[in-house]
A and B are shown apart, each in its own frame.
Chain A
Amino acid sequence: MRLEAKPMPSLAQSLAYPLGAVAVTLVIVSALVVAAGASPFSVFQLVLVGAAGTPFAALETLTRATPLIFTGLAVAVAFRAKLWNIGAEAQLYVGAVVTVVLGTGALPLPAPILIPVLIVASMIGGGLMLLGPAFLKVRLGVDEVVTTLLLNFVVLLFVSMLLEGVLKDPMALGWPRSASVIAEARLPRVVTGLRLHYGFVLAVVAAIAVWFVMKKTTLGYEMRAVGHNAEAARFAGIPVNRVLLKTAMISGGLAALAGFSEVSGTARNLTLELSPGYGYTGIVVAMLAMLNPLGVVAAAIFVAGIFVGADAMSRTAGVPSYIANVMVATALLTMVTAIMLSRFRIRWR
């Protein structure tokens, strides 16, 4: 068996591969559903209805997709420049900490000023969080996969320390939980009474902005050039190290926005349960989107839909909602395979 390079796929082909990957995922997951004693068709139907069957369900899916769009964008931007940021989880928590520190009354500002301030401040915080590993990478050649991954645990412990100490809400009856952000620091709801908040709109705007930067600006061009061939980029006069540091600021900032929007839009306060691994799932989202910023929105909604839908399904069909994890993981594997098949042809002899 060997691989041969293929010419560039057409637009139709490049859409067919992700859809094919989803179809294969459903077939593989069917086997597990059957093993759990249920009918695949009814389970998938229940997942779909649970994720998008009612306006309530659909808005819940979009709410869950919001942090995934941010972390997915963070990963997509960094991976484009071959900066392997595995630390979106840590950057998310930094954004959340900044939001809580500044948003619980320290800055008595009206909402139209306070919210932009929180956005910028958390982006700076998350960016600095990734700047350290990026600096070590360009200066000393320290592998950023290791540093960003391990910093996730460092930051979680640090947040835990804050929640037991200075940030602990005295009214929380001993729970490790921060005070709630003030009303001016809260993102408004899109529909009154439902959880969907303007963080989702911000995420979509961020996706469009990232798409524009990557496609149309000199910085995006520099990032792609560095990612494809850093040596040739350096020879051509592109300041590779500076580009990597800028990439780190943007990527870390985007991941921090996930933390800001979760605190400001849904949770209101900071706990260690703020993120059920959105930073890691962002890697899956970015890969499913083939690092395309607009694809990240679709991929995040798809992944969020599976989680939301699987919750609803497990209540009626009796299949554990863990099937959602299997589906997302399988989708990642089939997608990576599809990406490879879109670039290479397999010869069996």
Chain B
Amino acid sequence: MPETVLNLSSITKRFGALVANDAINLRLAKGEVVALLGENGAGKTTLMNILFGHYVADEGSIEAFGQPLPPGDPKAALQAGIGMVHQHFTLADNMSVLENIVLGTQSKWSWRLDRAAAVARIRKLSSDFGLAIDPLAPVSSLAVGERQRVEILKALYRDARILILDEPTAVLTPQETEALFATLRKLVAEGLSIIFISHKLNEVMAVSERVLVLRGGWLVGERRTAETTRQELAALMVGQDVKMPEPRPASPGEPLLVFENVSTGQRSGGSRLQNLSFELRAGAITGLAGVSGNGQGAIAALIAGVERPASGRIIVSGREIGDWSPRAALSAGIARIPEDRHAVGSIADMSVAENVVAERYREKPFSRRGVMDWAKAHEFASRLIADYDVKCPSPDTRIRLLSGGNMQKLILGRALDPDPIVILANQPTRGLDVGAVAYVHGKLLEARDRGAAVLLISEDLDEVLALSDTVIVAYQGQISMPSKRGERSVAELGELMAGHGIGEAA
């Protein structure tokens, strides 16, 4: 039996009436990858926050390398050799990789930094573990996958022997995910131990030796990865079988939204669009694939009405929309599911009822002559909560307190309730658990079958292929010719995502 490096015993954490962790035991051995599997809200992140001293457990104790870990002290966790790579990166964009990595490792009073030694050490770590990065590059110039490498290097630079990765693949392309797994294997071979937090079954199967499944704050199962199956883990995680929706063949109709030679001005993030033309047809889902930052943001902002085209025309159901704004988009029958549900899709400190009427508060029955009818807003919110299966105590709950999946269901309900003719779904399932993903996909297919034209923007190629009747690929502000379901192979799409074959023909 290999040496135990980390031992969490009967950790319990309550937030008011909610039990986020209920007597959870976790043992991590040297050189082992343990996956922590569970839906959003199952208690994975809470458990790691307790380990890392961000929260104090109500009961239970933690031992690292045989020593008890004082609760509520992130510094103690760091000093014990525990490093964490958060889902949302904690890097200073305006500083270099080197500065980000050494930040906080020096004494407060030493002004000078031995740059050469630090650079050499970072270079060695990155070549040892396959974390290719230029230590002197500014972080702002790095792609998402590279930023994650910096986060891992930060932990290794601090001599972490235990590495915790919270949903590390959520932001990565398939190729980057493969590279990450290769790095993890090297780390484990060097004797590090890893806790891999995820809700993606195939990744957990690929990378871990042992799986702990959490559900509703309980440890519902522990399996050796080699002795279990995806089906068993899925059932443990969800508590029931999840069926992904199977799309029926589509029967595309009229073009409901047409872009004609649309260009945008220079943007701060992402590519500008150059003479873009495409159409979304009734009763079909068009998938827009591509590596992030290739113009998807601009296309989404244009359809949502947040931005105006610099030149070109946007035509909705045969009518050119002149004065383009979010309100004009809404009244033209466009539903918008934004990429960032926390910052853009919802107002965190307002209630569910106040959030669901945000696009329609000016209309009857929610207001009359400028006076709100909050009773009607409550009714509407209660109906969405019931219809869209949202777990939420009441329409008065602040939306901040909902999990990502429940928040997304509410945004979906708000967008789809008025029977829109065009639906913009920008990364609609990012960060959601299996159950919620299946739910969102089902709703989008339902809307398609009802005759809506759907644009699905996703960096997850599997998602695009599963749902789309037509696929287009964005690259540096231009798009590929559309292809029907099954017309292009994954490899061909991958080529297009890398820019081969886009722009040359046009």
* A228 with B325: CB separation less than 8 A: no
Asked if B216 is an interface residue, CB under 8 A from chain A, the answer is no
Asked if A2 is an interface residue, CB under 8 A from chain B, the answer is yes
* Distance between A265 CB and nearest chain B CB, rounded to angstroms: 31
* Distance between B307 CB and nearest chain A CB, rounded to angstroms: 11
Interface string of B142-180 (1 = CB under 8 A from A): 000000000000000000000000000000000000000
* B16 with A7: CB separation less than 8 A: yes
Across the interface, name the chain A residue whose C-beta is closest to B377: A221
When distances are taken between beta carbons in the complex, the residues of chain B under 8 Å from A231 are 343-344
Complex partner residue of A4 from B55, B336, B350, CB under 8 angstroms: B55
* Distance between B86 CB and nearest chain A CB, rounded to angstroms: 16
Asked if A14 is an interface residue, CB under 8 A from chain B, the answer is no
Interface string of B332-353 (1 = CB under 8 A from A): 0000101000011111111000
Stretch of A178-186, A212-220, A269-277, A301-309 contacting B (4+ beta carbons < 8 Å): A212-220
* B344 with A232: CB separation less than 8 A: yes
Compute how far the CA of A238 lies from the CA of B358 in the bound complex, rounded to whole angstroms. Answer: 8
* A219 with B345: CB separation less than 8 A: no
Complex partner residue of B343 from A4, A8, A232, A239, CB under 8 angstroms: A232
* Distance between A159 CB and nearest chain B CB, rounded to angstroms: 36
Complex partner residue of A233 from B55, B325, B347, CB under 8 angstroms: B347
* B372 with A221: CB separation less than 8 A: yes
Known: A218-B361, A237-B325. A225 touches B347 (CB 8 A): yes
Q: How many residues of B contact A (CB 8 A)?
A: 39
* B327 with A239: CB separation less than 8 A: yes
* Distance between B290 CB and nearest chain A CB, rounded to angstroms: 22
Asked if B362 is an interface residue, CB under 8 A from chain A, the answer is yes
* B349 with A228: CB separation less than 8 A: yes
Asked if A172 is an interface residue, CB under 8 A from chain B, the answer is no
Compute how far the CA of A21 lies from the CA of B359 in the bound complex, rounded to whole angstroms. Answer: 39
Compute how far the CA of A154 lies from the CA of B487 in the bound complex, rounded to whole angstroms. Answer: 70
Across the interface, name the chain B residue whose C-beta is closest to A212: B371
* Distance between A240 CB and nearest chain B CB, rounded to angstroms: 10
* A235 with B344: CB separation less than 8 A: yes
Compute how far the CA of A237 lies from the CA of B350 in the bound complex, rounded to whole angstroms. Answer: 16
* B347 with A232: CB separation less than 8 A: yes
Known: A225-B354, A349-B71, A349-B72. A235 touches B362 (CB 8 A): no
When distances are taken between beta carbons in the complex, the residues of chain B under 8 Å from A347 are 56, 72
Interface string of A203-237 (1 = CB under 8 A from B): 00000000000001111111011001101111111
Q: Which of B38-81 contact A (CB under 8 A)?
A: 54-56, 70-73
* Distance between B415 CB and nearest chain A CB, rounded to angstroms: 10
* Distance between A90 CB and nearest chain B CB, rounded to angstroms: 29
Asked if B119 is an interface residue, CB under 8 A from chain A, the answer is no
Complex partner residue of B372 from A7, A8, A217, A236, CB under 8 angstroms: A217
When distances are taken between beta carbons in the complex, the residues of chain B under 8 Å from A238 are 358
When distances are taken between beta carbons in the complex, the residues of chain A under 8 Å from B71 are 349
Complex partner residue of B345 from A4, A224, A234, A235, CB under 8 angstroms: A235
* Distance between B346 CB and nearest chain A CB, rounded to angstroms: 6
Compute how far the CA of A308 lies from the CA of B420 in the bound complex, rounded to whole angstroms. Answer: 61
* B338 with A219: CB separation less than 8 A: no
Across the interface, name the chain B residue whose C-beta is closest to A226: B347
When distances are taken between beta carbons in the complex, the residues of chain A under 8 Å from B372 are 216-218, 220-221
> What are some 18 contacts across the A-B interface (CB < 8 A)?
A2-B54, A7-B15, A7-B401, A217-B370, A217-B372, A218-B362, A221-B354, A228-B348, A228-B349, A231-B343, A232-B347, A234-B306, A234-B326, A235-B306, A236-B359, A237-B329, A347-B56, A349-B70
Chain B residues near A (Cβ < 8 Å):
15-16, 54-56, 70-73, 304-306, 325-327, 329-330, 336, 338, 343-350, 354, 358-359, 361-362, 367, 370-372, 374, 398, 401
Pairs of residues from A and B, 8 with the lowest C-beta to C-beta distance, nearest first: A236-B358, A237-B326, A237-B327, A349-B72, A229-B347, A228-B347, A218-B367, A232-B347
